[in-house]
Homo-oligomer: A and B are copies of this chain.
């Protein structure tokens, strides 16, 4: 009874088109100001402010004020997971324009899911890591000695990550591929590394990623992933 109320109150937050648009925008894992969110949702600043307040109250986002700006970001990986899962429901959407189709295709090819890699790129990297015995699935996801070396070579500060409260390794079911990709703090670190090395680039202010030629070569060399497996449909 009272349980239904809490479920409904959370679902209700995402049940409004403006708030849904905001949360989708925030899926890139970044911090957005209220004004920018207002624009993303096509509403006025006043409405956006109220929406953000409700999302904060519901625990879906957190805010941080810096001077006259207020930065909004998703409250954590679990929220991102929820938004991703929900956005995969409903009719696959009629896709009314060619531009919309292209955008969706790009999204399926490579994107961020909160703060880690997703789409075909994310799944390919995950599968390659497992296939090359850098990750193991014995009783939960684990890192092999070989995997430790690989990540260390890449410049990932493993001890630093392990000191965090957040889980190092987690699987996240990919929205479009329906098979797991790598999440957790290590997934986040890997994604960051891809971005700083210019292996992938964000397309504008979205969570769509573009794999650079440099990146194609890198994943081919390091993981044996053929560029054709990543090509935009």
Chain A interface residues (CB < 8 Å from chain B): 1-21, 23-24, 41-42, 58-59, 78, 81-83, 85-87, 89-91, 93-96, 100, 127, 130-131, 136-140, 179
Contacts and interface: CB of A to CB of B under 8 A. Distances in A.
A23 B42 CA distance: 32
B15 A1 contact: no
B15 A3 contact: no
A82 B14 CA distance: 13
10 contacts: A2-B95, A4-B18, A4-B21, A4-B41, A5-B17, A11-B15, A13-B15, A127-B139, A131-B139, A138-B138
A3 to B, nearest CB: 6
A130 B19 CA distance: 41
Contacts of A12: 11-12, 15-16
Given A12-B15, A137-B137, A82 B86 contact: yes
A3 B17 contact: no
B100 A7 contact: no
Contacts of A3: 24, 87, 93
A116 B75 CA distance: 30
A16 B7 CA distance: 9
A139 B139 contact: no
B16 A8 contact: yes
Q: Considering residues A59, A93, A137, which has the most beta carbons from chain B within 10 angstroms of its beta carbon?
A: A137
Contacts of A15: 8-9, 11-15
Nearest to A104: B3
A96 B8 contact: no
B17 A87 contact: no
A153 to B, nearest CB: 23
Contacts of A136: 137-138
A24 B6 contact: no
A100 B11 contact: no
B89 A59 contact: yes
A200 to B, nearest CB: 21
A140 B59 CA distance: 33
Contacts of A8: 14-17, 19-20
